Amino acid sequence: MRMLMLVYETAVDPDVVKILDELGVPGYTKMSGVTGMGKTGRRNATPVWPGSCTICYTAVPEDKVKSILERLEILKASYPVKPGLKAFALLADELI
């Protein structure tokens, strides 16, 4: 099992959730209003540094990871200005 941590600009959240739903992801946890800085710039939810990010965690079987990442790549490429969207994978064991 893998724990995917998706970090993305909050504006693309509906599209990310749609992908997860279409691929039958069994569940996820989101944290909205996250601020920080990355390759696409600062997101501090202020007039000087507008915007914020969302972090979405989902635990999925190994065989779902590739399809999720492929769909996220397609999503990112579909925007004229590429949004901040990163995916990280960690090994995960369900303990409880």
Residue 42 confidence (pLDDT):
87
Q: What is the pLDDT of residues 40-88, one digit of tens each?
A: 888 888 888 888 999 999 999 999 999 999 999 999 999 999 899 999 9
Q: What is the pLDDT of residues 1-14, one digit of tens each?
A: 999 999 999 999 99
Domain 2-91 is found in CATH 3.50.90.10: no
Q: How far apart are CA 22 and CA 47, in angstroms?
A: 35
Residue ranges of domains in the chain: 2-91
Backbone torsions φ then ψ of 22, nearest 5 degrees: -65, -30
Half-sphere exposure (Cβ direction) of 94: Cα atoms closer than 13 Å: 6
